[in-house]
Amino acid sequence: MDSVDLQVLKSAAQWLEEGHRVVLATVTETWGSSPRPVGAMLAVRGDGLVAGSVSGGCVEDDLIDKVRGKAVAADRPEVTIYGITKEDAQRFGLPCGGRLQLVLEPVRDQASVKGLLAGIERHELFARELDMASGEARLRAASRNDVLAFDGTTLVTIHGPRWRLLVIGAGQLSKYVAMMAQALDYDVIVCDPREEYAITWDVPGTTLTRDMPDDVVLELNLDSHSAVVAVTHDPKLDDLALLEALKSPAFYVGALGSRLNTQKRRERLEQFDLSQQELDRLHGPVGLRIGSKTPPEIAVAIMAEITAVRHEVPLDSVGIKTLDASATQTVCR
């Protein structure tokens, strides 16, 4: 399952190959309440077909009309702002007082878009630099710490999986977690040394490794853009990964299990060289409490909690964070 931005780029590449005119809109700045974050993209085909979103409201309708009439970005990139006044904000469906700055680019270089997509498919991270005066774009390697930048003359956008998710276990639940994580722009690595699970793994775009979990955690050199979730219910696998992950800078470390199993896991981990602060980083039972019972529902709960932690939203502000014990016990793998 592709992320939203990847869908936009794939649509743009296909339309260009078919000979259509394409305008790419990128959110570069917001003020006040904004429906979509900086970096959100929308591709508009010359006949009005769209992919992606920059507002989820009437901004798209206005952009479609202007692209059809070649009233914007006809020859070179330009900047446009929606919601300059309270009246404009209300007209274009923005929250009262919100403003949205967009860079509109008439995409001509089909090769650069295809090159970008090829790099993303290889799980590489790229920066795309757009010169506003000439409309020319070039690609360069980027790091996970790079962010969108716009100084009025050059727009730098970051493409590729800036976040990583390591899933311990290749069972049914893991497949749903992996697919949802990909849609959220994670590079997904799945670790399971058990042959009976590894040979049935079939989620495209993910990386499967049969190495031992603790070795994988160390090899990945987890950083602050990394998350780890263990879902095997097998202490020999889960505990090994958690032990090393809790020592790392990973922004999220969680494990599936009932409250009783979670308490036993903590007691086991306390026997190793982990500080209390490191132990307290463990999220378990994993996932927000949303009444999940089926594997897809539990995957939603897990990814919801990871998303909240990633955006530094206090978990007590989104309700009781743990899954029901019955839910986590019904789906072990």
Render pLDDT for 90-126 as a digit per residue (tens, 0 to 9): 566 565 556 889 999 999 888 889 888 988 888 888 9
In the sheet that 126-131 helps form, which strands lie side by side, from edge to edge?
137-141, 126-131, 154-159, 149-150
Query: How does residue 130 score in pLDDT terms, banded at 50, 70 and 90?
Result: very high
Render pLDDT for 203-242 as a digit per residue (tens, 0 to 9): 999 999 999 999 999 999 999 999 999 999 899 999 989 9
Would you state the pLDDT for residue 119?
87
- The answer on 218 and 91 residing in a single domain is no
Overall number of domains in the chain? 2
Render pLDDT for 46-65 as a digit per residue (tens, 0 to 9): 999 999 998 866 689 999 99
Helices 172-183 and 295-310: angle between axes, nearest 10 degrees: 40
- The answer on 102 and 84 residing in a single domain is yes
Would you state the pLDDT for residue 327?
44
Query: Taking 80 as the threshold, does the pLDDT of residue 30 lie above it?
Result: yes
- The answer on 126 and 96 residing in a single domain is yes
- The answer on 288 and 209 residing in a single domain is yes
Domain range enclosing 169: 163-330
Name the residue with higher pLDDT: 319 or 281: 281
Query: How does residue 319 score in pLDDT terms, banded at 50, 70 and 90?
Result: low
Would you state the pLDDT for residue 104?
97
Which residue carries 């670790």 as its tokens?
A: 191
Would you state the pLDDT for residue 317?
62
Name the residue with higher pLDDT: 318 or 214: 214
Question: For the whole model, what pTM was predicted?
Answer: 0.79
- The answer on 113 and 145 residing in a single domain is yes
Longest dimension (CA), the chain: 69
The enclosing domain of 225 has a CATH number of 3.40.50.720
Can you say whether residue 139 is alpha, beta or left, with left for phi > 0 and alpha for psi between -120 and 50 degrees? beta
Would you state the pLDDT for residue 5?
83
- The answer on 171 and 153 residing in a single domain is no
Measured CA distances, 272 to 168, 232, 268, 269, 278 (Å):
20, 21, 8, 6, 11
Among 131, 159, 187, the domain boundary falls at 159
Would you state the pLDDT for residue 325?
40
| Range from 49-58, 80-89, 174-183, 260-269 carrying the lowest mean pLDDT | 80-89
Would you state the pLDDT for residue 237?
93
Among 98, 132, 159, the domain boundary falls at 159
Would you state the pLDDT for residue 315?
83
- The answer on 184 and 146 residing in a single domain is no
- The answer on 135 and 213 residing in a single domain is no
Render pLDDT for 274-293 as a digit per residue (tens, 0 to 9): 999 999 999 999 999 999 99
CA atoms 144, 156, 182, 192: torsion sign? negative
Render pLDDT for 55-100 as a digit per residue (tens, 0 to 9): 866 689 999 999 999 999 999 999 999 876 656 655 665 655 568 8
- The answer on 180 and 55 residing in a single domain is no
Render pLDDT for 132-163 as a digit per residue (tens, 0 to 9): 999 999 999 998 889 999 999 999 999 987 89
The answer to whether 333 and 200 are in contact (CB under 8 A) is no
Exposed (0-12), middle (13-18) or buried (19+): which is 77, by Cβ within 10 Å? buried
- The answer on 168 and 153 residing in a single domain is no
Name the residue with higher pLDDT: 173 or 331: 173
Among 125, 159, 193, the domain boundary falls at 159
Query: How does residue 164 score in pLDDT terms, banded at 50, 70 and 90?
Result: very high
Least Cα distance to 302 among 280, 314, 284 occurs for 284
- The answer on 197 and 98 residing in a single domain is no
- The answer on 281 and 145 residing in a single domain is no
Would you state the pLDDT for residue 14?
95
